[in-house]
């Protein structure tokens, strides 16, 4: 199956031209010529000419990279060439159409989205008639058309690959029916489930919609989706399937307008004046770790170490990328199909080199590290502290810093006095886990062990059978070898 780049053209080439309401398209030798809609077209020059071939060669091969669609020249030795075009996929608009009984069978349009829109979330190009050509090109730099020859299954796989890199699926409502009520909600947004309307693709997905009271919603969704797209291959990090965006509220979105008696859903409601952004992710049927601990209490030793390995492998991967999660807690650890830990909710994540983002204080009372509470400089060791709280909770069934209120839990955290008394049923903390917890829950970040070292400790406690079941988790961790992994220490 091969993709062939048909054209690279500016989107404003096909926009409505001044002085007439429509145009006729005539295929020339090397261009699509758009002629004004008038009786005597022979007297007029084309109002737009759209090149059909890329400069310098007649065709190109398309390779899906980590963040881009890379167009390579059609030559015998492609390894000698850099991509002639790299089309960014993060928040790129994706539209496609099937062509029955033809080759190619599909035409796919990819439109990279500018990084900034107006701060109120409204689309700046709504008033394009008042902008000059240069401004319009800055808003919509280009649209790429691809002719795709493959069967329907392969094409769906292609769309999934594009979605996992943050592309927007405008046909999402045609493929999935969302639940009327959210299955979870928080400060940043609400999570709905989506049921597939056909047997093609994922049968059930989770969709996180941002709350409408968020400032700069596109910037927020770009940030969270960017982290998920970068980590999409890790087995213990929630899998991104795509991005959804709409400007019209409707019943199918599960975010209906609320009456006066139902004000609880106003926050998640969409309006025709504001865009509604959401990210589509894999759905974890088993729920989250908080639900599991609430139903059965402390986990058996083997299960707790298994869960800890998945969490620490995910955090090691993030820290290698110089990303700090900043909200590790039981509610944000989902249970995979085999019961493995899946780290989710990257709404608070930040790059260590992003000074603006790192100046903000993020975390949940009872999990947040002392340096976060004190307003001191911090780094990836805040995740180590939070993961220590979570490991303590898994082994004991209780938080190490309890309290009747968030303020009380913060005060307990500042003291960092951890008790390792016997848990319910007379079971004591394993010695290896107690040593590890004393390090992770140290008040001083420089005394805390790294996520990489914590993984190694937990991995050594697993039985051979458990290690075999966690092959993907172990492989993901051991891929961070040599100098790369030493940088995590």
Q: What is the pLDDT of residues 94-133, one digit of tens each?
A: 989 998 877 778 999 999 987 654 333 334 333 334 445 4
CA-wise closest residue to 207 among 182, 235, 175: 182
CA distance 429 to 437: 10
CB atoms inside a 10 Å sphere around CB 375: 9
Give the pairing of strands 106-111 and 143-149: antiparallel
Single pTM value for the model: 0.77
Residue with tokens 């280009």: 142
- Label the pairing between strands 93-98 and 168-169: parallel
Q: Tokens in use for 22?
A: 């429509």
Collapsing DSSP to helix, strand or coil, 178 comes out as strand
Q: Is 247 exposed, middle or buried (0-12, 13-18, 19+ CB in 10 A)?
A: middle
The predicted structure's pLDDT at residue 59: 53
Cβ-contact 163, 243 below 8 angstroms: yes
Distance of alpha carbon 311 from alpha carbon 236, whole angstroms:
7
Query: Do the Cβ atoms of 113 and 93 come closer than 8 Å?
Result: yes
Q: Considering only CA atoms, give the Rg of the chain.
A: 26
Among 126-130, 346-350, 428-432, the minimum mean pLDDT is found in 126-130
305-to-317, 420, 470 alpha-carbon distances in Å: 18, 17, 11
* Cα angle for residues 281, 250, 185 (degrees, 5° grid): 45
- Does position 54 have pLDDT exceeding 60, yes or no? no
Which comes out higher in pLDDT, residue 120 or 374? 374
Answer whether residue 11 shows pLDDT above 60. Answer: no
DSSP-assigned letter for residue 458: H
Residue 49 confidence (pLDDT): 65
* Residue in 51, 8, 4 with CA at minimum distance from that of residue 32: 51
Asked if omega into 104 is within 30° of 0 (cis), the reply is yes
What number does CATH give the domain 289-486?
1.10.510.10
pLDDT at 314: 97
Task: Give dist(CA 479, CA 234) in Å, integer.
Answer: 11
Residue 53, pLDDT > 60, answer no
The answer to whether residue 484 scores a pLDDT higher than 70 is no
Say what the pLDDT of residue 430 is: 84
Res 465: pLDDT: 96
The winner for highest mean pLDDT among 104-118, 314-328, 421-435 is 314-328
Q: Calculate the average pLDDT of the chain.
A: 79
Alpha carbon 179 to chain centroid distance? 21
| pLDDT reported for residue 320 | 95
The tokens describing 381, both together, are: 């060791």
Token pair belonging to 16: 């409505």
Q: Is 353 left (phi over 0), alpha (psi -120 to 50) or beta?
A: alpha
């993020």: which residue's tokens? Answer: 362
Exposed e or buried b for every residue in 177-214, given b needs 16+ CB within 10 A?
A: ebeeebeebeebbbbbbbeeeeeebbeebbbbbbbbeb
Centre a 10 Å sphere on the Cβ of residue 374 and count the other Cβ atoms it contains: 11
What 3-state DSSP class applies to 50? strand
Ordered DSSP codes for 89-155: -TT-EEEEEE-TTSSS-EEEEEEPPPS---TTS--GGGGGGGS-HHHHHHHS--EEEEEEES-HHHH
What are the tens digits of pLDDT across the range 274-303?
778 999 999 999 999 999 999 999 999 999
Q: What is the rounded distance in angstroms from the CA atom of residue 387 to the CA atom of residue 311?
A: 8
Gap between the Cα atoms of 268 and 178, Å rounded: 14
Q: Which residues contact 87 (CB under 8 A, 6 or more apart)?
A: 68, 69, 70, 71, 110, 112, 144
Assess contact for 317 and 476: CB atoms under 8 A. yes
d(CA 321, CA 370): 24
Band of pLDDT at residue 29, cut at 50, 70 and 90: low
Q: Distance (Å, rounded) from C-alpha 281 to C-alpha 209?
A: 11
Distances (CA, A) of 169 to 24, 130, 156, 161: 29, 29, 12, 12
Q: Residue 240 pairs with which residues in a beta bridge?
A: 281
Encoded tokens for 445? 């970040």
For residue 193, name the pLDDT band (cuts at 50, 70, 90).
Answer: very high
């Amino acid at each position: 199956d091969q993709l062939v780049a048909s054209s690279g053209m500016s989107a404003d080439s096909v926009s409505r031209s001044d002085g007439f309401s429509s145009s006729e398209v005539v295929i020339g030798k090397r261009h699509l010529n758009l002629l004004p809609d008038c009786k005597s077209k022979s007297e007029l020059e084309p109002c737009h000419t759209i090149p059909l071939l890329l400069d310098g060669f007649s065709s190109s091969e398309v390779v899906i990279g980590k963040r881009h669609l890379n167009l390579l020249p059609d030559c015998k030795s492609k390894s000698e060439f850099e991509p002639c075009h790299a089309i960014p996929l993060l928040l790129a608009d994706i539209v496609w159409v099937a062509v029955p009984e033809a080759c190619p069978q599909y035409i796919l349009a990819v439109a990279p989205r500018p990084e900034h829109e107006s701060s109120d979330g409204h689309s700046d190009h709504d008033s394009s008639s008042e902008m000059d050509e240069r401004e319009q090109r800055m808003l919509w730099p280009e649209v790429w058309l691809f002719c795709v020859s493959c069967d329907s299954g392969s094409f769906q796989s292609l769309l999934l690959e594009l979605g996992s890199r943050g592309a927007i699926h405008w046909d999402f409502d045609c493929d999935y029916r969302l639940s009327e009520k959210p299955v979870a909600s928080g400060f940043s947004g609400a999570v709905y489930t989506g049921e597939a309307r056909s047997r093609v693709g994922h049968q059930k997905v989770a969709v996180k919609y941002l709350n409408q009271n968020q400032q700069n919603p596109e910037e927020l969704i770009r940030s969270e989706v960017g982290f998920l797209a970068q980590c999409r291959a890790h087995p213990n990090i929630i899998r991104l399937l795509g991005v959804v965006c709409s400007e019209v509220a409707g019943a199918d979105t599960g975010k209906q307008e609320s009456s006066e008696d139902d004000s609880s859903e106003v926050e998640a409601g969409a309006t025709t004046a504001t865009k509604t952004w959401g990210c589509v992710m894999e759905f974890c049927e088993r729920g989250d770790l908080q639900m599991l601990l609430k139903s059965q209490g402390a986990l058996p030793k083997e299960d707790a170490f298994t869960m800890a390995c998945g969490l620490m492998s995910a955090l090691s991967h993030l820290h290698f990328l110089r990303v700090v999660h900043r909200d590790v807690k039981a509610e944000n650890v989902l249970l995979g199909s085999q019961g493995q830990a899946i780290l989710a909710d990257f709404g608070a994540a930040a790059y260590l080199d992003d000074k603006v983002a790192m100046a903000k204080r993020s975390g949940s009372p009872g999990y947040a590290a002392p340096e976060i509470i004190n307003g001191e400089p911090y780094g990836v060791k805040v995740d180590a502290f939070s993961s220590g709280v979570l490991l303590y909770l898994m082994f004991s069934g209780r938080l190490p810093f309890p309290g009747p209120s968030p303020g009380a839990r913060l005060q307990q955290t500042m003291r960092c006095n951890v008790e390792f008394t016997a848990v319910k049923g007379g079971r004591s903390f394993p010695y290896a886990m107690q040593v590890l917890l004393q390090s992770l829950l140290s008040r001083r970040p420089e005394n805390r062990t790294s996520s990489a070292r914590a993984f190694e400790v937990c991995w050594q406690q697993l039985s051979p059978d458990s290690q075999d079941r966690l092959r993907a988790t172990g492989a993901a961790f051991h891929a961070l070898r040599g100098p790369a992994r030493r940088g995590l220490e």
